Structure 1
Amino acid sequence: MPQHILIVEDEHSLAQVLSEYLSQSGFITHILNDGLSVVSWVKENSVDLIILDLMLPGQNGLDIYRELRTFTDIPVVMATARVDEIDRLVGLELGADDYICKPYSPREVVVRVKNILRRATDDVKTVDKVLSINESTMQVLVKGKEVSLTRAEFRLLSHFHQHKDQVFSREQLMSQIYSDNRIVTDRTIDSHIKNLRRKIQNVDAEVDCIQSIYGVGYKFAL
């Protein structure tokens, strides 16, 4: 299945050239020329990687990146016209998957994109060897052995699995599990997490896939 690349670049000719090179390599591309529409577009569409220019009309790439990281871990390649800007971005430890400096070689960008996506796929395979989740059947396997979960526990685990490396507060997790706005307490989430961990570790004591972040909440830890 072709992978989708979002190019966020206000230089139309550059965006078109990069899109053509990526398309020739089998990718499906979409171009956005301003910063204001990026976050809403990503929320409404499926994309495998984003090439994000730092200087954009409407909203700069730095703010866009920070906002994206509040709800997705899609790989991001940050583009800038200044080498010293890359040094500053790396110094900020933003966590972008790669940085490229203009003028760049479209061929080199294609190679970097392929490498990043291959690494991401390898990471998923590593996780799936330990934990497998079937959304349609609500089946969970830990190292090939089935784990019986309640609906709330399954929703929790699925949400963590889909948003690796993101930390969620108890309030965020409550809104994810209970869409009917019922009144629940922080202890309800803690109880679900405790039961989820116990059931998984009953299958394999070495697997602890949910990490507590003191004073904040929880995150996926595989």
Structure 2
Amino acid sequence: MPLHILIVEDEPSIADTLIYACQSEQMLATHVTLGQLALDCLKQQPFDTILLDIGLPDMTGFEVCRQLRRFCATPVIFLTARDHEVDRIMGLEIGADDYVPKPFSPREVIARIKAIQRRLHPENTPAVAGLQLDELASRIYYHQHLLQLTRYEYLLLKTLIQQPHRVFSRTALMDTIWQSAEETMERTVDTHIKTLRNKLRELSLKQALHSQEMIVTHRGMGYSLLP
């Protein structure tokens, strides 16, 4: 599928340049001029990268970034006419992934988008049915939205992602995930499977994502991520 880029820029000439550059690379581009419109878009559908101007009419790009990081892990590249070190540091500290000062080359922006995507989706990173595992950060994303998981929920879903068609018995999951936990029972697996299903379902509804029941129960055998 082509990358879908959200462009948040109130200057028409700059926005048109970015839209053309994205489309020339077979990327989809959605353009909005206000920070609130960007936040609304991100709550309605997933994007692959956000190109975010700092100087917006309704709120600063910094504030947009702060708010979107509460519910969204989509990479952010700041676009700004300001090239002060303090602005770059602030942007990175609140969750931006990159920073491009104006005037910029559209080709450079495209190159930075591709570089971020290569880091996000290396060939050896498991990605199954919209689930993306980031082992270095101990995080799992569902259609690029961060799942809020407890330690054992993360370990359980990670185990299923790494072998998506394998049927894991409750005993195998207990031995793999709850090795050091005291006084655990096999019913613990069922409880965590239930909470994982609920979190995936809730995120799908909240973000209007196309979803399916990915964690499958095999009666008398155990669980797998896919049938």
TM-score (norm 1): 0.61
Question: 1:51 offset after TM fit, Å?
Answer: 0.4
1:153 corresponds to 2:209? no
Is the Cα–Cα contact under 8 Å of residues 77 and 96 in structure 1 kept in the other structure? yes
Q: Which runs of 5+ in 2 are unaligned?
A: 127-131, 144-156, 171-188, 206-227
Is the Cα–Cα contact under 8 Å of residues 79 and 102 in structure 1 kept in the other structure? yes
Question: CA offsets, 1:93-143, max 9 Å, x none?
Answer: 2231100001111010000011101111128815659899999xx996264
1:141 corresponds to 2:160? yes
Q: How many residues align?
A: 160
User: Percent of pairs identical after alignment?
Assistant: 32
Q: Which residue pairs with 1:90 in the alignment?
A: 89
Counterparts of 1:22 and 1:116 in 2: how far apart (Å)? 15
Matched position secondary structure for 2:160: strand
Counterparts of 1:80 and 1:40 in 2: how far apart (Å)? 22
TM-score (norm 2): 0.60
Counterparts of 1:132 and 1:75 in 2: how far apart (Å)? 15
Q: Which runs of 5+ in 1 are unaligned?
A: 163-175, 180-222
Counterparts of 2:134 and 2:94 in 1: how far apart (Å)? 29
Matched position secondary structure for 1:37: helix
Is the Cα–Cα contact under 8 Å of residues 132 and 141 in structure 1 kept in the other structure? no
Counterparts of 2:78 and 2:39 in 1: how far apart (Å)? 15
Counterparts of 2:82 and 2:53 in 1: how far apart (Å)? 11
Is the Cα–Cα contact under 8 Å of residues 134 and 140 in structure 1 kept in the other structure? no
Residue type matched to 2:45 in 1? N
Residue type matched to 1:43 in 2? K
Matched position secondary structure for 2:78: strand
Is the Cα–Cα contact under 8 Å of residues 4 and 47 in structure 2 kept in the other structure? yes
Counterparts of 1:10 and 1:134 in 2: how far apart (Å)? 30
Counterparts of 1:70 and 1:13 in 2: how far apart (Å)? 31
